[in-house]
Structure 1
């Protein structure tokens, strides 16, 4: 289980089943989208678990730098983050705002 922290994002690759159960991730709402590219601003901290998909997240103000997230990743996005999502493989995720 590797954790990557970059641009205020925290990405946990392949979190344990016990961690996901402890957070009751499977009870969180679901959201999905087809391959696309769009801007997004986080008005609250978001935690999500990607069931499917692959995305490059480009934080505003960091040029062409990005963080890639994919199926099996648990991600935390900080409140106030502005970014562009570049979805290359359709996304299906559980999420919760804090």
Structure 2
């Protein structure tokens, strides 16, 4: 089950006549699979709902509606594993907040991993170019990333980085 956080102004076409979520301090969507029906829980005012605080629950077919959301996703590209928007429970389980921190300003530099590194970006934006590839892997604040032992690459930091890291 994935959990989504929906941004202010997210649009829900054909959702009981409501077109836009304008204010909502809490909003989540749960999905059990691709094309599955999800549940949206919104607290706050929505569309033409009353302006007083209330909770509204709507059913939504994820295959027919577009949601501006940030989901927890796991991908691997060019040997680099990325978990976008990991849940806090995962970060706590790993002990991420107790790991040492490292940061750097915008810069470009080569790097070779002498052991596997797992890091969690608190701030920043980086394109990592593994040696021998013209493609880059972009990592941003909120990403949990695993770099394999022995990888040589070039870090191109476009926004200052602040991260927790751990070497295995």
Instruction: State the shift of 1:54 in Å.
Output: 0.1
Partner Cα separation in structure 1 for residue 144 and residue 119 of structure 2: 6
Write the mapping of 1:26-41 to structure 2, written as runs, cut at 5 A. Answer: 26-41=97-112
**Aligned-CA RMSD value:** 0.4
Q: Name 1:77's counterpart in structure 2.
A: 147
1:3 matched to 2:70: no
What is the SS of the residue equivalent to 1:80?
coil
1:25 matched to 2:67: no
Structure 1, residues 37-72: CA drift from partner, whole Å, max 9, x if none?
00000000000000000000000001x200000000
Count of matched residue positions in the alignment of Structure 1 and Structure 2: 97
Write the mapping of 1:54-65 to structure 2, written as runs, cut at 5 A. Answer: 54-62=125-133, 64-65=134-135
Instruction: State the shift of 1:7 in Å.
Output: 1.3
Q: Name 1:16's counterpart in structure 2.
A: 87
What is the SS of the residue equivalent to 1:21?
helix
Partner Cα separation in structure 1 for residue 79 and residue 117 of structure 2: 12
What is the SS of the residue equivalent to 1:79?
coil
Partner Cα separation in structure 2 for residue 12 and residue 72 of structure 1: 9
Partner Cα separation in structure 1 for residue 87 and residue 96 of structure 2: 12
Gaps of 5+ in 1: none
Which entry has the higher C-alpha Rg, 1 or 2?
2
Q: Name 1:49's counterpart in structure 2.
A: 120
Structure 1, residues 21-41: CA drift from partner, whole Å, max 9, x if none?
011100000000000000000
Gaps of 5+ in 2: 1-71
Instruction: State the shift of 1:4 in Å.
Output: 1.4
